[in-house]
Structure 1
Amino acid sequence: MAYDRHLADRVRELVADEDGLAERPMFGGLAFLVHGNMAVAAASRGGLLVRVDPAQSAALTDDTHVRPMVMHGRPMRGWLQVDREAVRTAPRLEQWVARGVSFARTLPAKHARS
């Protein structure tokens, strides 16, 4: 399944002025990186992948629309799958994008590979 291009456009509008921003296909979706670190992505299964502080992952999950990202059968601490229902409204999308961008800013910058 292709990522939601409309959702990617909404995210793009929110991060357009972010210093060090790059877009890159990742995990079958479109990721938005800050200084080389993924902050948020329009996910291939719909909704968003959001990178957060691993210590806050459990507190941000719920039983309905937000859960840990699972890769190869293992939940990934610090990576959340946020269903499209949880980001339908502009304020909710802004909240999740801000979480991802804020955490990505705390990480050491990664240099571009040639």
Structure 2
Amino acid sequence: MAFDEGHATLMREELADIEGISEKKMFGGLCFLLHGNMICGVHKDGGMARVGKTREAEALEIEGVDPLSFTGRKMGGMVDLSEDLLGDHTRRAQVMALALTNAQSLPPK
């Protein structure tokens, strides 16, 4: 599994006070879920977040956020997070808030 444990620790800290969080190895990295719905994850080059299609444009305005494309094809509602963004508490928290809003809007799995 190729991901930076330091980045995973940052994500864990962001989500520490939220009930219903779990972790799952997926996409060659580590994902964090709320009641079974993906919030975010870390991979070898940074991270990703599932902000949802309605919040994607807002997320893309944050420095260090790009459309997610693991296979060369854009994944709607998902964004890629640079290593620089993961290290910046303010920007990371902005993206996490969008991703949590998305996950909270979904029924538990």
Query: Where in structure 1 do 4 or more consecutive aligned residues deviate above 4 Å?
Result: none
- The two structures, once aligned, show a CA RMSD in angstroms of 2.0
Look up the SS of the partner of 2:55 in the other structure.
helix
TM-score (normalised: structure 1): 0.83
Larger Rg: 1 or 2? 1
Note the 1:69-88 alignment, pairs <5 A.
69-88=68-87
- The residue aligned with 1:99 is 98
The runs of 5 or more residues in structure 2 that have no matched partner are none
Note the 1:26-105 alignment, pairs <5 A.
26-45=26-45, 47-61=46-60, 65-105=64-104
Aligned-partner Cα distance in 2 for 1:95–1:60: 8
Match for 2:42: what amino acid?
Answer: A
Deviation of 1:42 after TM superposition, in Å, equals: 1.2
Deviation of 1:60 after TM superposition, in Å, equals: 2.5
Aligned-partner Cα distance in 2 for 1:104–1:9: 20
Counting matched residue pairs gives: 109
- The residue aligned with 2:17 is 17
TM-score (normalised: structure 2): 0.87
